[in-house]
Structure 1
Amino acid sequence: MSEIKSVAIAGASGTLGPHVLKALIDAQFQVKVLARSKKPGEFDAGVNVVEVDFTSVESLTAALKGIDAVVSTVAGTAIKTQTVLIDAAAVAGVKRFIPSEYGSVTTNPKLEAFPLYENVFKIKHHLQEKANAGQLTWTVLACGAFLEFLFAPGEASLLDFTDRKATLLDEGDNRLSSTSLATAGKAIAGILKNLEATKNRVVKVSEVILTQNQLLKIAERLRPGDNWEISKVAASAVLKEGLDELSAGDFSSSAIFKVINGTGLAGETYGSAYDETDNELLGVKELTEEDLKKFVVEKLA
């Protein structure tokens, strides 16, 4: 397979998108941003932004002519609409498609039974159909939970650093792979420089494998005078509660994160910790204990 020179990115203004855009530019790829509309100042002056209709194969095909690879970083309800982008990529002769997933979902087939993850699996199956027909190749990047989310206030955080509260799932020792947004971006650039080694498969990267107890111990060592309020809940109970709420029509972030946490922090049940990775292939370095301390110190301030 010939090398990748030109890359189109969808979702470049989202959470992960800017990091992917920077990594692709830094890696000397010719980058085209696909956007619903051009907004002044949204991207640097030198970035090539093209307006497209994401519901139209014709519009997207025209924008993808001459493009070697497509990277999607769309989020939320836009996940399921990637089928149109994939179809257009196939028609335009795109060589490699990287869909928006970036978690641990399709690394474990057990998760396909959950409605929350249904669209992610549909996209992967759609890509495989195109690959089987010889129309394009694909790579899914599994990078675990984004490190920034695990330390930020909110439902994705492993610990409540602000109020010094820790709700441990099971005993707090369930392992979870995590990667920063910037490193995920660099890993995507690495995929596009290693086409054969990453062809039609899930590649795994992990900067660090975390547990809640691990972070709690670091916090207690850094601030020995702080009193943490610690409670425990079964990961299976959190998952069931989230699934029940979704089944009842509650699609709030609370219900969604109960499912995410109930699967992601369920230990080996859903395989959220990567002991074998493609770190070396993609140039990803693991974080040290000192690196972790820096994250915790910032949150304890």
Structure 2
Amino acid sequence: MVKVAIAGGSGQVAREVIDALVAANKHEITILSRKAQPISNTTAPGIKWQVVDYNDKPALTEALRGTHTLLSFVQLLSDPGEKSQRNLIDAAIGAGVKRFAPSEYGSKSTIDMPWTYGKGRIVEYLKEVNAKSNVLEYTLFQPGLFLDYLAFPHQTSAHLTPLQTIFDFANRRALVVANHADDAVMTLTSVKDLAAIIARAVDYDCGRWPATGGVRGNRLNFAQVIAMGERVRGRPFKIEKVKVEDLEAGELNTSWGLEAVHHAVSDEEASALLKAVCVGVLLSSTKGAWDSSDEMNRLFPDYEFASAESFLAKVWEGKE
């Protein structure tokens, strides 16, 4: 049993991970949050809720005393300059925390996705603080795209809100980059599987965490995702192809785009960000950004991941 702290513990992915840790019933869990615990939120026995100020590094350090593993789910869009996560890292080192996972939980690379560039800067900071000696063990949990998003608008987990993607199963359509349907790869992992793997990683005591913690639920190229969608949905998809040169110019010449925005994004920012996300995901997919590695799969070879097709067939069965 170890003490686990969850930064940004009121977030959707964080709550999925907390549920997995609670189900394991092995650890003392502290949720760190900027806000007081909601009256409607009742935590399981053994979970402590602690209000923190991420700008107060000494207080953060005290809050982390005795913590073995710190998992960060700080929302990048709400953390300009990555100040909160940098302070968390400094406080973790000062408090003697053994293990840290920064706020990743997505693509392998941030190339062509400027809204994620903060992830890269945090990785560089982790390398910097560990340059002279390994003061803080860390891993980057990278599951690719949540498989649950291909079920949009249907919710498939307890906490993760459905979001649209370039694979629109609801309307039987998809966006692809011309001439890249066969070489652009998308890793698809359910949020439940990610949470289960993180819970196992917290228990892992056979050595250090790998610096990159790729989580590969399903590895499919775009053509395979679309073919799967057509089988699951029972009809052909309407495919719109975009040119690399248009994407590189920031243009999205399609008849449709993303509409469902993350809760952390303001209404004023939504339109521009949704276009940027669509352009960025398409362009980055041609450069391997979503082809997650499999370090965590190899660490836990007995774990069985949800099959993308079986998962989605259950979601879409009987639906128009």
CA distance in 1, matches of 2:294, 2:208: 15
Contact 1:176–1:264 (CA under 8 A) maintained in structure 2 = no
The answer to whether the 8 Å contact 1:219/1:296 transfers is: no
Q: 1:118 to 1:19 in 2, by over 3 A?
A: same
2:52 aligns with 52
Give 1:164's aligned residue.
172
- Are residues 242 and 124 of structure 1, via their aligned partners in 2, closer, same or farther at CA, if it must alter by over 3 Å? farther
- The corresponding residue for 1:20 is 17
In 2, Cα distance between equivalents of 1:42 and 1:236: 48
CA distance in 2: counterparts of 1:86 and 1:285, whole angstroms: 32
Q: Distance in 1 between matches of 2:294 and 2:136?
A: 27
Paired position in structure 2 for 1:67: 67
Deviation at 1:45, TM superposition (A): 4.8
Pick closer, same or farther for the CA change 1:241–1:78 going to 2, 3 Å. Answer: same
Q: Which runs of 5+ in 1 are unaligned?
A: 244-248
Higher mean C-alpha displacement, 65-74 vs 20-29: 20-29
Secondary structure (helix, strand or coil) at the match of 2:168 reads coil
Provide the rounded CA distance (Å) in 2 between the counterparts of 1:175 and 1:135: 35
User: Distance in 1 between the 2:217 and 2:243 partners?
Assistant: 26
Aligned position for 2:224: 214
CA distance in 1, matches of 2:280, 2:31: 30
**Structure 2 residue aligned with 1:8:** 5
- After TM superposition, the structure 1 = structure 2 runs for residues 21-170 of structure 1, keeping only pairs within 5 Å, are 21-27=18-24, 28-36=26-34, 37-46=36-45, 47-79=47-79, 80=82, 81-106=84-109, 111=111, 115-132=114-131, 133-153=133-153, 156-170=164-178
> How is 1:161-240 mapped onto 2 (pairs within 5 angstroms)?
161-171=169-179, 172-173=181-182, 174-194=184-204, 197-199=207-209, 201-224=211-234, 226=235, 228-235=237-244, 237-240=246-249
- How many pairs are equivalent? 286
Residues 1:10 and 1:279: Cα distance change in structure 2 (over 3 Å): same
Aligned in 2, Cα 1:237/1:82: closer, same or farther, shift over 3 Å? same
RMSD over aligned Cα, in angstroms? 3.0
Q: For 2:248 and 2:147, locate their aligned partners in 1 and report how far apart those are by CA, in whole Å.
A: 21
CA distance in 1, matches of 2:245, 2:12: 29
- Change in Cα spacing, 1:64 to 1:298, as seen in structure 2 (3 Å) is farther
Q: Deviations over 1:162-209 (max 9, x none)?
A: 333222233533221121111111221222222564436101111111
Give the TM-score normalised by the residue count of structure 1. 0.82
Aligned equivalents of 1:131 and 1:275: distance in 2? 23
Q: Can you list the C-alpha shifts for 1:88-114, whole angstroms capped at 9, x where unaligned?
A: 1111110011000112244x7xx3x86
Q: Which AA in structure 2 matches 1:149?
A: Y
CA–CA separation in structure 1 for the residues paired with 2:277 and 2:135 = 36
Per-residue deviation, residues 232-258 of structure 1 (Å, max 9, x unmatched): 113553354169xxxxx9773323313
Letter in 2 for 1:6: K
Q: 1:64 corresponds to which letter in structure 2?
A: L
- In terms of fraction of residues, the more helix-rich structure is 1
1:84 positional shift:
0.8
Q: Is contact 1:263-1:270 (8 Å) kept?
A: no
Give runs of aligned pairs for residues 250-265 of structure 1, distance below 5 A: 252-265=272-285
Q: Conserved in 2, the CA contact under 8 Å of 1:150 and 1:158?
A: no
One-letter amino acid of the structure 1 residue matched with residue 168 of structure 2: D
